[in-house]
Structure 1
């Protein structure tokens, strides 16, 4: 009889062969993850340090909101692809005067390219909701900037587009009924999509499920918003099933383009994220939810699969944002979208690259992240069940204190982890703490907040196994 590991090895070899075959057939494209580097703050590290940070986390794509010379110089020869921006306040000048666009491209693009890998220019940002009413300048500005790229022989390497917000849609539910606001269609949407099609560019879209959830938390499941396990939502028009609000939002934009006969225009999600902190009325803004959303989104994107409506088009996404920005106006959440604090410490830990995912890093359902227990295997998924395990990144001191509490005042059943008992081996703090934390969690009927222990534990949706010790699911 073949042992488990032999079967597993054979399955892995078969899977590897399949991947090679698909690669040879041209189906190996995967989605990509980038990040927005905003600088509306007075406490951020220098651009040179930021570039080193980007390299350290394996980030190969970054999006800026301007063409700051110091930042573009720091990014030179880094291997990081860059999206830059022509700000909204320059749209009128770029639209009215070709020489202005020429000078801007010469001073802000060609001066730095190709040492700095500028791959696209975002002409404006969410122009349709700009209070200064710059919508009429958008497409003329895009055309003039593109004409400037042609003059400098850069048009084949650098794309032109403009990020739109989901507020450009008249309808977004169900996704199949997606449509643009009628007032925008003829003046700007169609001309812009025509331009993108002619220049082989793509539509930039900023999508935030957080806003939809926060405003409609009584109707939208938080699991649906955070890519967690959920029953899904069936689109009454197309019959397609959606397991995440993000995919439903993206397909609503695709449907809106399709309704105007622009099915062949691709899309890049230039902003999406979830705040780790918010005001009391900003429902859902929390560190755990931010880690869940962004971590699960990364996993979803790097799977290489598209959306239900466009399954063959891999998702390309820029997370918002690299840092918490302390001078951003608006609600509390606006200043707390960062994956990092200004001191370069992580706000929470999530995988950002395929290498991290393949090495076993996971994003458990409560948003904290850690490694799958290194001494055990994960058995088959049990739908609807969850377990509590130790977060080894919390440190030995915190884990030991939490373990003492669980086995003491917490009245967890810790007898199986005593010397000589069934779950004593492996004799590690992480394994023993995981067993104790799960015992407490299950006894408390998996109630909210019963698997935290001050950050020393998190919830997983697959049953962990340390050695031969199986974790119970209830008492």
Structure 2
């Protein structure tokens, strides 16, 4: 078994350093390395590119020996795949998965940091109808890993497409297709729960936008400033189509009582070119989507429905792939051209975000230890871990107003003190009134994680805010 080189220790050190410097509730992101092309650089050069860009996670669509060898001792974590065409054999006989694991996994691990195996990809839409083989194949692959004493180190899952959902709008109504639930969804979720693994999902807001450009705001699809969409089922406000899509999957799992299963977004991206009917495919939109996505993941919290679960995302894709079939967009998702030049320039690490001055949390991000601005003042004494919730004035008037209305309405905040003539009516400003309402809601919810969020309209402070003579309570 190969021993790690000194360079791999350096890579791991800097990876850990970058994680320590990132926000504690931030997620992580990697990149899909597809190779359906005849003009790509050799894997050894690709690994150099990944390292030069600070990319520490990569997802493959197979277990190519040249690629896995090149990734050895690089410090880069890898998700590999057992292709759909092998599902039938993997489901039928564990001796097949024993041999497959030995030849494709255990002989490379741990020099190559294989973190997970994607058993199949979007199997439910596979035209060869391989759905029936999925869960038996997953179980056999896992059993083979256990035989090699690496069952606890390498996760087993399978990426689903959002087409597995019968309903995805609003997010709270998310549900799986009824014909999939008993045969495959429940058994798969049982397996993920039993093995402490996670759901893999491929989510493409581009597809939803291109099909409904007359109904969906482009800003909403690209993580840009927008009024937000209130989910009538759960009262949460969504400021990105991406978050809404992910929460639709979470809601579908919750409807089946699998709230304890987490998720990794194994594919998402935006194309730089498309056919005439692929509305929104452009270099500017791709740069906006992926750039804002990176900032969303590295500086943010979870989704509105799962605020405590950091987002783990793999962008599609590393390169433009000139031999992919289908519409023009399929060949134009890459962040890099085959000559290793960037298709467009976006930050890819928390360090680059900070260097660009663009590391402020995006959208529904809960922040801490931030001073109150715009009319409020902060006392200087220490308050032994007590926290308060205040309005984020940068969220904009529409977002603050919507959040204030929710807090004082369905949220159940005590907003009597900010009514005209009451003790906290002055100063009569949106920020002051919203801060009081948000804090009331936050304290009533026992300062639970995620309860000072309001779709990015609020954040946590560690010293008591005061607007005029209004004192913010610490409990109700």
Q: Please, what TM-score do these two structures have when normalized by structure 2?
A: 0.71
1:324 aligned partner: 320
**1:230-269 equivalence runs, <5 A:** 230-269=226-265
Give, in whole Å, the separation in 2 of the partners of 1:81 and 1:70.
16
Q: How far is 1:304 from its partner?
A: 3.4
Which of 266, 273, 278 aligns to 1:270? It is 266
Q: How far is 1:361 from its partner?
A: 5.1
Give, in whole Å, the separation in 1 of the partners of 2:395 and 2:245.
29
Which of 165, 172, 182 aligns to 2:168? It is 172
**1:361-372 equivalence runs, <5 A:** 362=358
Give, in whole Å, the separation in 2 of the partners of 1:206 and 1:64.
14
- Specify the SS of the correspondent of 2:38: coil
1:73 counterpart = 2:69: yes
**1:146-295 equivalence runs, <5 A:** 146-295=142-291
Which of 110, 114, 118 aligns to 1:118? It is 114
Give, in whole Å, the separation in 2 of the partners of 1:287 and 1:151.
47
- Specify the SS of the correspondent of 1:62: strand
Deviations, residues 146-179 of structure 1 (Å, cap 9, x unaligned) = 0000000010100000000000000000000000
Aligned residues: 344
The 1:276–1:362 alpha-carbon spacing in structure 2 relative to 1, beyond 3 Å, is farther
Give, in whole Å, the separation in 2 of the partners of 1:232 and 1:266.
25
- Specify the SS of the correspondent of 1:94: helix
- Specify the SS of the correspondent of 1:189: helix
Q: How far is 1:363 from its partner?
A: 10
- Specify the SS of the correspondent of 1:338: coil
Name the stretch that deviates more: 295-304 or 101-110: 295-304
Which consecutive residues of structure 1, in runs of 5 or more, have no partner in the other structure? 1-22, 365-379, 385-475
The 1:202–1:136 alpha-carbon spacing in structure 2 relative to 1, beyond 3 Å, is same
Q: Answer whether contact 1:351 1:361 (CA < 8 A) is retained.
A: no
- Specify the SS of the correspondent of 2:111: coil
Q: How far is 1:141 from its partner?
A: 0.1
- Specify the SS of the correspondent of 1:65: coil
Q: Answer whether contact 2:37 2:324 (CA < 8 A) is retained.
A: yes
Give, in whole Å, the separation in 2 of the partners of 1:361 and 1:342.
29
Give, in whole Å, the separation in 2 of the partners of 1:33 and 1:96.
34
Which consecutive residues of structure 2, in runs of 5 or more, have no partner in the other structure? 1-19, 361-392, 398-476
- Specify the SS of the correspondent of 1:318: strand
Give, in whole Å, the separation in 2 of the partners of 1:236 and 1:335.
38
Give, in whole Å, the separation in 2 of the partners of 1:348 and 1:28.
29
Give, in whole Å, the separation in 2 of the partners of 1:328 and 1:247.
28
Give, in whole Å, the separation in 2 of the partners of 1:78 and 1:70.
14
Which of 337, 348, 355 aligns to 1:352? It is 348
**1:347-426 equivalence runs, <5 A:** 347-360=343-356, 362=358
- Specify the SS of the correspondent of 2:166: strand
Give, in whole Å, the separation in 2 of the partners of 1:122 and 1:312.
25
Give, in whole Å, the separation in 2 of the partners of 1:360 and 1:124.
39
The 1:353–1:39 alpha-carbon spacing in structure 2 relative to 1, beyond 3 Å, is same
2:331 aligned partner: 335
Q: Answer whether contact 2:299 2:359 (CA < 8 A) is retained.
A: no
Q: Which runs of 4+ in 1 moved over 3 A?
A: 361-364, 380-384
Deviations, residues 4-53 of structure 1 (Å, cap 9, x unaligned) = xxxxxxxxxxxxxxxxxxx9xxx924200100000000000000000000
Name the stretch that deviates more: 225-234 or 28-37: 28-37
2:472 aligned partner: none
Give, in whole Å, the separation in 2 of the partners of 1:85 and 1:311.
29
Q: Answer whether contact 1:296 1:363 (CA < 8 A) is retained.
A: no
- Specify the SS of the correspondent of 2:36: coil
Name the stretch that deviates more: 281-290 or 27-36: 27-36
- Specify the SS of the correspondent of 1:82: strand
Deviations, residues 52-88 of structure 1 (Å, cap 9, x unaligned) = 0000110000000000000000000000000000000
1:105 counterpart = 2:105: no
Deviations, residues 432-470 of structure 1 (Å, cap 9, x unaligned) = xxxxxxxxxxxxxxxxxxxxxxxxxxxxxxxxxxxxxxx
Give, in whole Å, the separation in 2 of the partners of 1:45 and 1:354.
27
Q: Answer whether contact 1:292 1:363 (CA < 8 A) is retained.
A: no
Q: Answer whether contact 2:25 2:301 (CA < 8 A) is retained.
A: no
